[in-house]
Amino acid sequence: MTATLERTDDGFVRRSEGPGVKRRVVGAKWAIGGVVLVTILAFIAYAQRADNDYTPLSIKNYEPGGARALAEVAGDQGLDMRQIESLSDARITDPESTTLVIANGEALQAFQARTILDYPGDVVIIGESHALLTELGEYLWVVESTERTLEAGCSHVDARAAGTVSTSGAVIAGTTDATARYCFTASDNGGSTVVFTHGTAGGRVTAVADPAIVVNDTIDNEGNAALALRLIGKHDNAVWYVGSLFDTTILTWTSPDNPHGPAQRDDVPASTDFLPPGTGNAVFALVLAMFFVALWRARRFGPLVHEPLPVVIRSSEATRGRARLYRSAGASGRAAASLRASAATRIGARIGVPRSSGKAVLLAATARAAGRPVAEVEAILYGPPPGNESAMMSLIEQIDTLEREVHRT
């Protein structure tokens, strides 16, 4: 910001008095109001911030792809639901009364899948999880069906209670052991939406092929809600796992053969990486601090100084432009004429023939100096114009040779 000046003694100047604080505040009332408004909005946004996330199938996500509706209703019905982002965070102390829901198991690997199937309590698998289905039965995989509304078609109590479900078409094909029951079977390819079976430790395992049963968008269609609530609400507690690629941990729980079990939930937070705890927060603080660093570096020490620059066109540009014109027009004749004339002038100056003395005198003197026949010199200096560029190039060669011969003498 530049200022107006007032003169003091001895050639000193200083900033003249400004308009005063009150005038300045009144003048900047819109700016001040804007800053206050933005601050209030920022605080509101900050207060609202923790309530939502955007992870698909998260029980905090109220987008169409989230599972918040299910979690809210189940919570109202007295179910204690907890979401985990890493398997080691599960720390289930009472497997008998805790349902484990693998909501998004696509990134799970075989060793993780095995620990999940070892879980003695109930397990619900939602959506496609290649590792889990492969561990569950050799020929289980998810395929597409054209049917969107499926009848229970089996005697399982949960399936019968739901009656009909509405899906987006994913079904599980193949079979597992003999005790498994296949419900909501599609007639076109024989795949089932829900497979009831058992894990390696005897826990009930329910595989739901299609997340459409639980997501906010489609949970209220047909019997989806009934099926979902019955599957996760068998016991008082449910642990809802939303996986990610970064999770390489295995499931933890306390069981009779391992009475000590994992550490208590609040003791040491499980970490999915190898960085010291708090590193993420430190990085976050440093990112915020970048704002100050940017302010510090960006503030210029006074306005930019402009330099009145001189013209930077070279004098030879005009000549180069003319050369380009010759080139684009293919003016080999005119170019050769210029070079011939300038060569003749130089030769004349060299052997002392004034320009006014005429062509014949110059030719005779040049021929004598170069030791060549007059006709040859005439062909070089006054011959017909070259028809093309290669003729011009060879003519230039001859002119240069002639000039060298004359200069040698």
Decide if 396 contacts 360 (C-beta within 8 A).
no
Q: What whole-number distance in Å separates Cα of residue 376 and Cα of residue 346?
A: 18
Would you count residue 22 as binding other proteins (CB under 8 A)?
Answer: no
Q: Which of 179, 257, 264, 299 is the binder for other proteins (CB under 8 A)?
A: 299
Handedness of CA 361, 366, 371, 377 (dihedral sign): negative
Neighbours of 260 (CB within 10 A): 6
For the record, the structure tokens of 80 come out as: 């204690």
Q: Which amino acid is at 153?
A: G
Among 286, 360, 375, 379, indicate the residue that binds other proteins (CB under 8 A): 286
Binding mask 216-235 for other proteins (x = CB under 8 A): --------------------
Calpha distance 237→315 (Å, rounded): 88
Q: Which stretch binds other proteins (CB under 8 A): 153-161, 162-170, 357-365, 392-400?
A: 392-400
Site for other proteins in 26-55 (CB under 8 A): 46
Q: Is 258 left (phi over 0), alpha (psi -120 to 50) or beta?
A: beta
The correct pick among 17, 266, 267, 273 for binding other proteins (CB under 8 A) is 17
Under rule CB under 8 A, residue 292 binds other proteins: yes
Retrieve residue 22's tokens: 């009150």
Regarding 1 and contact with other proteins (CB under 8 A), the answer is yes
Cβ-in-10-Å burial (0-12, 13-18, 19+) of 355 comes to exposed
Residues 324-353 that bind other proteins (CB under 8 A): 324, 326-327, 334-336, 338-339, 341-342, 345
Segment holding 294, helix H or strand E: helix 279-298
Q: Which of 19, 302, 352, 384 binds other proteins (CB under 8 A)?
A: 302
Nearer to other proteins, 57 or 392 (CB): 392
Number of amino acids touching other proteins (CB under 8 A): 68
Contact call for residues 366 and 351 (beta carbons, < 8 A)? yes
Cα separation of 202 and 159, whole Å?
21
Q: What minimum distance in Å lies between the beta carbon of 302 and other proteins? A: 3
- Grouping H, G, I as helix, E, B as strand and the rest as coil, residue 253 is strand
Q: In this complex, which beta carbon is closest to other proteins, that of residue 231 or of residue 336?
A: 336
Query: CB of residue 227 vs other proteins: minimum separation in angstroms?
Result: 38
Strand partners, 98: 237
Which of 14-22, 30-38, 234-242, 254-262 is the region at the interface with other proteins (rule: CB under 8 A)?
14-22
Site string for other proteins, 254-283 (x = CB under 8 A): -----------------------xxx-xxx
Cα–Cα distance measured from residue 331 to residue 323, given in angstroms and rounded to the nearest whole number: 10
- Enumerate binding residues for other proteins (CB under 8 A): 1-3, 5, 8, 10-18, 46, 277-279, 281-286, 288-289, 291-293, 295-296, 299, 301-303, 305-308, 310-320, 322-324, 326-327, 334-336, 338-339, 341-342, 345, 389, 392-393, 396, 400
